């Protein structure tokens, strides 16, 4: 059926060809599923949001096409002319082209932009595979075959040609024969069927019987459709009404409606539903706008539990098809989804995105007045401890209690929301002075402190807070959040439970810290760190047994950066394991130059022991340098044991099994030292310097030191006393035999590896002769 032939076709044959387009919908479902799954797989592979959009577009188009096909099923074609049939042909083509064009764009984008082999193969394969069924589904329309195949292939051709590759250009050109052959095949099928249909028309009896059957089927379908339907003549009088229309509008017998004016029918329905005059007139007015073509759809509320959506279409002969359906469940679902998107499920407070929308709207509504506005960021202090000790269920209930109080305090004067986890945010509009706004902010923060009851437990909670106050003309949501976050960080650093206002220096410090992080990343990348060593002596100072490796960083502009500063930065950036890797290699390499009885000790951070690489890193350093594992000591602090203790134990046992010595550093400063001494493969404890300070004057402190050493020896552990700085401290420790090894400035400060070698070669007795003489005296 060519373009010229279509106009000469009898309307009934033309209608049969167009009807064939709307049949066999199961293949559409299969095609949609294959396209959606393919695009989702490509999105997971490439993380490109375009493919997620393509998947969503295919689903939306499939829903819309199905709705259109359902409308086609309900359409009365008994008096249809060529124009009406052509309209439905065009509607089908538009829907089909939208889908194939979406697939074609995904293919072209995969070829020209993504260039991921899987994306290209997946998109092109599923698109061309869908073309296989093109002739079988769309032979009834010459234009459908041509436009669908072209819209699928042309984006692929464009994508291939854009690469500038001659081979891809040839492949692009080869798609043209594919389009033309598909078009030709469809024409052949259509011509064959046309000849047979014409022959069948001569069989009048069979045709009449078929018409009666179709009429019966149409009537059955009309009365079993889920939509209400009125067909009106040019004077808006009812020609056809189905059972669903009478049911939705409570109109009674549909036979009584034929020939009645639509206004009369609607008034009858209003009386049946006992609607008041205002609502009845509102329904009639909205339907009138639809019929006049001034609206495409109208949502009408008939009752709290009944919402109808009306749509109307006018035929060329002046008749009007009015369709309506019960959308109550859909509207309620949409409201529920909107509630879920806009509000936090746990606390009922606005989500971050909706909060941003609310603040923008509030500022825009008061744009004529350049008022002060406030942005307050709140963090619940020690909330992690609540989760760890009481569980997440109790933690969630505590957050709900905090949110309820925050709602009450904010009331109508501020907008409160939950950002994430235990962080909340409040936006203030001010109609008075800046000082008044700051006073309101601090008052809200102060009132959030206090007693909360959650899940049968009572908590006395404090809140850390940071805020920023600016003029509304300077409102930038992201900037305000960053500044409030800087102020919050300052509040946490100063005092738990404080509320700090943003100051310009905070941003300067933040930028300086970010610059230092960038420099540290570069220094680690090129190995621009160094290692110093602090020896551990026997108590009489006669011999060095081990040296603790200490990472050092000398900044090109700032000079030496304190270890506690750059190690913390490395932990924040997730680079501390790289620092450990560097120190391990250098320490093992330097230890080879020292006497064989001298070991080296390297500190492992909490993040090292939580990760999966540390065992491999240690083994790699030993194999690379050839150092005996017995000469490598590995230190960890007690804080390493607090989180994931089973994993830490497994790592330490693996290291100990390979011959290394495990030591606990800063012993006595944590919460769980004694409970772990029995289960960990520890050989050495290093007693924190806080036990040594002022031991001559503070007998209680000295007894703690003595008791800790005795405990260690009872467990057959070696005790290293850290932070011994004076000869008086050393003398007291030696008098009571309180240490197996001494580490501190009384013997030596941290030094380079070469100095350790010199110290060991010269012997340390000469350096400590004065100290020994003082002991004897």
Mean pLDDT for 365-369 is 73
pLDDT for residue 477 is more than 70: yes
What are the residue ranges spanned by the domains of the chain? 3-212, 227-333, 347-502, 523-776
* pLDDT confidence of residue 397: 92
CATH number of 347-502: 3.30.70.270
Mean pLDDT for 18-31 is 74
Highest mean pLDDT among 68-77, 144-153, 590-599, 709-718: 590-599
Q: What confidence tens digit (pLDDT) does each residue in 419-450 have?
A: 888 999 999 876 667 888 888 889 899 999 99
Asked whether the beta carbons of 490 and 500 are under 8 A apart, the reply is: yes
Mean pLDDT for 470-482 is 85
Which pairs count as long-range contacts for 555-564, CB under 8 Å and 24+ apart, including other chains?
A: 555/516, 555/519, 555/523, 556/519, 558/516, 561/516
Question: pLDDT-derived band of residue 620, with 50, 70 and 90 as boundaries?
Answer: very high
Mean pLDDT for 375-397 is 89
> What does the mean pLDDT of the chain come to?
82
* pLDDT confidence of residue 552: 94
- 734: closest CA among 257, 724, 155? 724
* pLDDT confidence of residue 208: 46
Give dist(CA 612, CA 257) in Å, integer. 78
Give dist(CA 558, CA 90) in Å, integer. 73
* pLDDT confidence of residue 7: 46
CATH number of 523-776: 3.20.20.450
Q: 227-333: which CATH topology?
A: Beta-Lactamase (3.30.450)
Q: What confidence tens digit (pLDDT) does each residue in 297-335 have?
A: 888 877 767 788 888 888 877 788 888 888 887 777 777
Q: What confidence tens digit (pLDDT) does each residue in 91-129 have?
A: 888 888 888 888 889 888 888 888 888 888 888 888 877
Dihedral angle over CA of 491, 492, 496, 501, nearest 10: 10
Asked whether the beta carbons of 556 and 773 are under 8 A apart, the reply is: no
* pLDDT confidence of residue 512: 78
Q: Do domains 227-333 and 523-776 have the same CATH topology?
A: no
- 126: closest CA among 145, 107, 144, 150? 107
- 690: closest CA among 721, 734, 650, 717? 721
* pLDDT confidence of residue 217: 58
Sheet of 423-429, strands arranged across: 414-420, 423-429, 372-380, 463-471, 499-501
Q: What confidence tens digit (pLDDT) does each residue in 204-257 have?
A: 445 445 555 555 555 565 656 678 888 888 888 888 888 888 888 888 887 778
With 0.85 as the threshold, say if the pTM is over it: no
């Amino acid at each position: 059926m060519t373009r010229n032939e279509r106009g000469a076709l009898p309307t009934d044959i033309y209608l049969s060809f167009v009807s064939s387009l709307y049949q066999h919908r199961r293949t559409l479902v299969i095609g949609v599923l294959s396209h959606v799954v393919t695009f989702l797989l490509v999105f997971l592979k490439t993380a490109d949001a375009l493919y997620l959009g393509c998947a969503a577009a295919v689903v939306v188009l499939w829903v819309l096409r199905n709705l259109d096909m359902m409308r086609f099923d309900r359409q009365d074609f008994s008096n249809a002319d060529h124009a009406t049939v052509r309209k439905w042909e065009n509607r089908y083509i538009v829907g089909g082209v939208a889908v194939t064009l979406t697939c074609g764009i995904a293919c072209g984008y995969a070829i020209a932009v993504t260039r991921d082999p899987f994306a290209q193969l997946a998109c092109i394969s599923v698109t061309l595979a869908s073309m296989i069924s093109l002739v079988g589904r769309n032979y009834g329309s010459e234009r459908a075959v041509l436009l669908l195949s072209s819209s699928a292939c042309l984006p692929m051709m464009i994508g291939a040609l854009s690469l500038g590759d001659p081979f891809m250009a040839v492949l692009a050109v080869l798609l043209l024969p594919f389009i033309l052959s598909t078009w030709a095949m469809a024409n052949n099928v259509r011509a064959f069927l046309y000849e047979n249909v014409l022959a069948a028309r001569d069989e009048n009896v069979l045709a009449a019987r078929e018409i009666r059957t179709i009429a019966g089927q149409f009537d059955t379908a009309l009365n079993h459709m889920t939509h209400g339907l009125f067909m009106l003549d040019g004077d808006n009088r009812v020609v056809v009404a189905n059972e669903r229309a009478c049911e939705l509008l409570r109109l009674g017998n549909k036979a009584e409606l034929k020939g009645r004016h639509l206004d009369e029918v609607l008034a009858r329905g209003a009386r049946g539903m006992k609607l008041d005059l205002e609502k009845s007139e509102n329904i009639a007015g909205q339907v009138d706008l639809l019929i006049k073509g001034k609206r495409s759809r109208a949502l009408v509320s008939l009752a709290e539990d009944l919402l109808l959506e009306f749509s109307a279409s006018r035929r060329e002969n002046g008749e009007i098809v009015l369709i309506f359906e019960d959308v109550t469940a859909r509207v309620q679902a949409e409201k529920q989804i909107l509630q879920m998107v806009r509000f936090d499920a746990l606390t009922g407070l606005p989500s971050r995105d909706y909060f941003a929308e609310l603040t923008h709207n509030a500022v825009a509504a008061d744009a004529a007045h350049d008022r002060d506005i406030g942005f307050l960021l709140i963090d619940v202090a020690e909330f992690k401890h609540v989760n760890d000790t009481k569980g997440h269920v109790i933690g969630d209930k505590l957050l709900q209690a905090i949110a309820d109080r925050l709602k009450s305090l904010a009331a109508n004067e501020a907008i409160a929301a939950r950002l994430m986890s235990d962080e909340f945010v409040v936006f203030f509009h001010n109609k008075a002075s800046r000082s008044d706004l700051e006073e309101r902010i601090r008052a809200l923060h102060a009132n959030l402190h206090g007693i909360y009851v959650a899940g049968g437990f009572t908590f006395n909670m404090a809140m850390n807070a940071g805020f920023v106050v600016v003029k509304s003309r300077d409102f930038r949501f992201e900037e305000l959040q960053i500044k409030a976050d800087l102020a919050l960080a300052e509040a946490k650093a100063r005092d738990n439970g404080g509320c700090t206002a943003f100051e310009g220096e905070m941003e300067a410090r933040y930028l300086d810290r970010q610059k230092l992080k960038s420099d540290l990343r570069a220094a680690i990348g090129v190995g621009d760190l160094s290692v110093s060593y602090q020896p551990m002596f026997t108590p009489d100072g006669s011999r060095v047994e081990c040296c603790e490796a200490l990472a050092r960083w000398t900044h090109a502009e700032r000079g030496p950066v304190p270890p506690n500063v750059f190690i913390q930065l490395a932990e924040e950036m997730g680079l501390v394991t790289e620092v450990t890797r560097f120190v391990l290699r250098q320490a093992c390499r330097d230890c080879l130059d020292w006497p064989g009885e001298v070991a080296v000790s390297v500190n492992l951070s909490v993040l090292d022991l939580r990760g999966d690489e540390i065992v491999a890193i240690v083994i790699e350093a030993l194999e690379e340098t050839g150092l005996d594992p017995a000469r490598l000591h590995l230190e960890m602090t007690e804080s390493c044991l607090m989180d994931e203790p089973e994993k830490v134990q497994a790592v330490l046992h693996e290291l100990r099994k390979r011959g290394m010595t495990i030591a606990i550093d800063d012993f006595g400063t944590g919460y769980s030292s004694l409970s772990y001494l029995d289960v960990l493969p520890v050989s050495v404890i290093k007693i924190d310097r806080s036990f040594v300070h002022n031991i001559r004057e503070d007998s209680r402190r000295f007894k703690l030191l003595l008791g800790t050493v005795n405990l260690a020896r009872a467990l057959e552990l070696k005790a290293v006393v850290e932070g011994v700085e004076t000869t008086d401290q050393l003398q007291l420790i030696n008098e009571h035999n309180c240490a197996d090894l001494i580490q501190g400035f009384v013997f030596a400060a941290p030094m380079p590896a070469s100095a350790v070698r010199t110290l060991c070669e010269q012997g340390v007795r000469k350096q400590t002769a004065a100290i020994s003489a003082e002991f004897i005296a």
